[in-house]
Amino acid sequence: MPDPQDLTLDRLLTGLPRDAKGRPLIGNVALLRKIGAGGMGAVYLGRQEKLARDVAVKILPFTLLESDPTLESRFVGEARLAASLESEHVVRVFDVGCEHRTHFYVMEFVPGESVGGLLKRHAKEGRPGMTEGAALRVAIGAARGLADAHDRGIVHRDVKPDNILIPEGNIDAAKIADLGLAKPHGGGQTFGTMSGVAMGTPGYMAPEQAEDAKTVGPAADVFAMGATLYTMVTGRPPFAGQSLIAIIRATAGEEPTPVPDTVSSGLRWVIDRCLRKQPSDRFRDGRQLLEALEKVRENPQAMKAPAPRPTPRPAGPIAVSSIPAAAVPRRRIIIAGISGAVVLLFLAVYAFQGRTSRPSDSGESPLSAAPEDPRPSRAEELFAGAAGLEKENRFEEARDQVNAAVALGLDRDKARIALDRLDAAIADGKAGALRADAFASRWEAAQAARTAADARDTEESWKKAMEAGARAREMASDADLPRVAALEAEAKQRAGWARAKTLDADGRAAEALVEAKRAAAEGPDNAELAAWIARTSSSLEAATTLAERKRRFAEASARADAEPDPASALVLWEAALQLADTELDRLHAGERIRALTRQMQDSDRARLYDAAIQEGDAAVAAQDFDRAEKRFRDALALRDGDAVATARLKDLAVQRARRDLADATARLESARNAKDWPGLQRAAEQILAVRPEDPGALTALAEAKQRQFSITPVEKGNRVEVVLDAANGVKLEFVTLKPVQITIFDGAGVSKRVKITKEFAIMTTEVTQEQWNSILGGNRSHFPGARHPVDSVTWYDVQDFLWKLNERLDGWTAALPTDAQWQYACRGGGKGEKYGFGDDETMLGEHAWMSENSQGMAHDVGLKKPNGLGLFDMHGNAWEWCWDAYVELGEIRETTDPAESVWGKDRLLHGGGSNASPADCRTAFRTRNQPHGVLWE
């Protein structure tokens, strides 16, 4: 496994400069080692030397950015979103930027471990989970961070144990991390919502998030916090399954195994409410959850434990997107080849609308016609750059850049229009900033007034909150109005409710009800106000004379004592308790209620136990082993150590093993026949899990590993052979080339003397379709054929092919050839400048498939004559990708092992295709294509 501190082969860091110690540098941060990776990039430990502090740096893959330019604004938006949270319980963001076409942001580095890491460590030590006290303290810290995020209108969308950090063992200082999926509540699509990126973590994301992650609100984070808290106190996730789909279905349609009775009733109540399937049944947001957790800390038995609830069924199918696992680069180097030369590719194609014109002898790109002088002046470059800054609302920087362009000769009239527009934008921005500052100050005052009113809960304090909201409204933008309106509506409603409470305290219950109902009708939905109205109405109806209350209590308690059914008696005693007027009556009713509750709980547990055993037996008969296991474990949870449930689980394990063994045996043969080597390995491992010494499975496992992993190149003199599929004779062959000093050319007659200082090996043919399928699969070539060169692949596709190949190579690394390496190999030891065999164009047909002899199609590789090094099809048959970005040869300054930065827009192509003219097939002819473009001719 690669050393995480060795960043020399990290593809995300290829274009970064190095400091004196050889460490990659970005944003004045020296990167030390990789500490994490995900679908949207990787995170590195870095050092800010000037500030003498360690930081974490997140970097976005350049391939994602170039394939979807809109990601740039989303990446910056994610960082700004995170930076806007100034909370002690949220990982801080310090900086965001782009250097060397690499997008990054710098975050607070939190030494310590995650809750997920702590739980794994506890599990290895044989003590799963955490103590209730520790879990509650961690949850309160994380809930504070979540509450701060929700107060700013931000939904995290990926709360889980791995995203809660414990700084150096201080569990009270727990922090929410990784806002990679965060979004403004009510906003549009954000950085984490694009195709192929996880929308949360199965087992922790709420049912509504699995169906549509872009529209979820704070209640989704509440669900995830509940699932995380469940995991902390039990040592296992609340929802499990053998696949992602199974986990998400369980989340939507099943109830988790009840939290053990050893956990306080208050914490069980909190977890139960968090894990409700409907968002409206959970805590409203992180702030309300935090309040509940703090009440539990003050009194663990403050709330009543949840009663068992029926298992709901999901309303419909749930969509899930998968995320490909990241490949790991290997060490050392060989330039392998996909296309006629060393590593790879050839391609051919112009996959745009129709087919573009053939490259001309002048060196014009085959993909687009360029102006006579395609390079803009420095003044024009600055002016174009200013337009980009203006789009990012960086108006003052844009104005400075336009002025610089004028100083370099830009037309003043052209610049004046832009400068007038920028000056107006700057003026508007300053006015807007003043208004925004005024609003921020007034909004802060309004929030403070709302907090004070919530604490005092008086009509006067809520009216002050309304007045503060009205002052904030005067400076609010359109985007700010909804939250201001929400604060004013809440304050108005709570003022009416406070007035009702005052009337009720004065014995004017009827008037209080009128005021409370008016407040409920005119304001937002308020479950607590509705409950207060219901209680007050009931009290008003029941409040008669003292004598009447005593008489009614006596009648109610007599009916309750006479009722033989415990459930009915419990209802009657609870009603009698509401009529009790003396302490003695209340104590008597309370004791009867507790006794009946214990009796009911015992009865319910017995009923639930019987139902679990019966449903488990039915599931076994239907071969639904997952359901059976869950119900038997439910029974065991209801009767700890129960012999019947334990025996059922043992029998179930035997039946499951038999079924899995039969299924795995059938899959093993099917995978072998289909040459599905990963599938063969999985089937063999499943068999060995049941039968560790099964000879057939051991043989199949060895065969699968041999076929799909660990290939050792074999060196024979100046030749290197890589066997991909021995059974079908699929292999790669290379020729080793020594260091050399040569002159390279372009199609316009420009030359450059360069030195290649490292030995490398180049493939003897273009990569064929059978070779491509053996490594990566997914062949979509325009000219199908096992021995035909693979075509219609992008430069990025080639990187995927190389990545997979390098995972299997032992001691070598495959890569695309540079411009210099390709020209060196193409010459083949020949003395001519035009072709690898010399300068006689009449001999080209003996060495190449081109427009004059190909009949417009690709042919098997290796049918024409090789060059002096034994390399085939260096001319014609299929265009070949190189590593370099396309730049004019005269602009290349580095003459030792030149490899122009890969961060250029277009990539270099050589060799010509089946429809290329003789001139296009020349060694010196250089052309280009976008890295996501494809070629097939």
Q: Are 318 and 252 in contact (CB under 8 A)?
A: yes
Q: Which residue(s) pair with 876 in the sheet?
A: 849
The sign of the dihedral angle between the CA atoms of 569, 575, 576, 580 is positive
Three-state helix/strand/coil letters over 774-790? HHCCCCCCCCCCCCCEC
Which residue has tokens 């030995």? 759
> What distance in Å separates the CA atoms of residue 408 and residue 467, rounded to the nearest whole number?
56
AA identity, residue 626: D
Per-residue b or e along 141-170, where b marks 16 or more CB atoms closer than 10 Å to that residue's CB: bbbbbbbbbbbbbbbbbbbbbbbbbbbeee
Q: Are 495 and 459 in contact (CB under 8 A)?
A: yes
Closest by CA to 261, choosing from 298, 301, 290, 229, is 301
Q: Which residues make Cβ contacts (< 8 Å) with residue 766, sequence separation at least 6? A: 337, 338, 339, 340, 345, 346, 789, 790, 861, 872, 873, 877, 878, 880
Closest by CA to 767, choosing from 327, 334, 342, is 342
> What distance in Å separates the CA atoms of residue 454 and residue 497, rounded to the nearest whole number?
12
Question: What is the distance, to the nearest Å, from the Cα of residue 61 to the centroid of all Cα atoms in its chain?
Answer: 13
Question: What is the distance, to the nearest Å, from the Cα of residue 389 to the centroid of all Cα atoms in its chain?
Answer: 29
- 284: DSSP letter: S
- 345: DSSP letter: -
- Taking only Cα atoms into account, the Rg of the chain, rounded to an integer number of angstroms, comes to 36
Token pair for 60? 């976005």
AA identity, residue 698: L
Q: Are 296 and 266 in contact (CB under 8 A)?
A: yes
Question: Element (H or E) spanning 45, and its range?
Answer: strand 41-48
> What distance in Å separates the CA atoms of residue 427 and residue 876, rounded to the nearest whole number?
60
Number of Cβ atoms within 10 Å of the Cβ of 373 = 7
> What distance in Å separates the CA atoms of residue 520 and residue 517, rounded to the nearest whole number?
5
> What distance in Å separates the CA atoms of residue 544 and residue 554, rounded to the nearest whole number?
15
Whether 158 is catalytic: yes
Question: What is the distance, to the nearest Å, from the Cα of residue 229 to the centroid of all Cα atoms in its chain?
Answer: 22
Which residue has tokens 């949220």? 90
> What distance in Å separates the CA atoms of residue 136 and residue 146, rounded to the nearest whole number?
15
> What distance in Å separates the CA atoms of residue 851 and residue 922, rounded to the nearest whole number?
13
Long-range contacts of 671-674 (CB under 8 A, 24+ apart): 672/700, 672/703
* Phi and psi torsions of 119, nearest 5°: -65, -40
Q: Which residue(s) pair with 346 in the sheet?
A: 880
CA angle 868, 873, 879 (to 5 degrees): 135
Q: Are 883 and 336 in contact (CB under 8 A)?
A: no
Q: How many helices (H) and strands (E) would you count in the chain?
A: 27, 21
**Strands (E) located in 678-718:** 714-716
Closest by CA to 935, choosing from 924, 919, 920, is 920
Angstrom CA distances, 456 to 437, 465, 786, stand at 29, 12, 80
Token pair for 562? 């006479």
Q: Which residue(s) pair with 880 in the sheet?
A: 346, 910
Q: Which of 19, 54, 148, 158 is catalytic?
A: 158
Which residues are catalytic, by number? 158
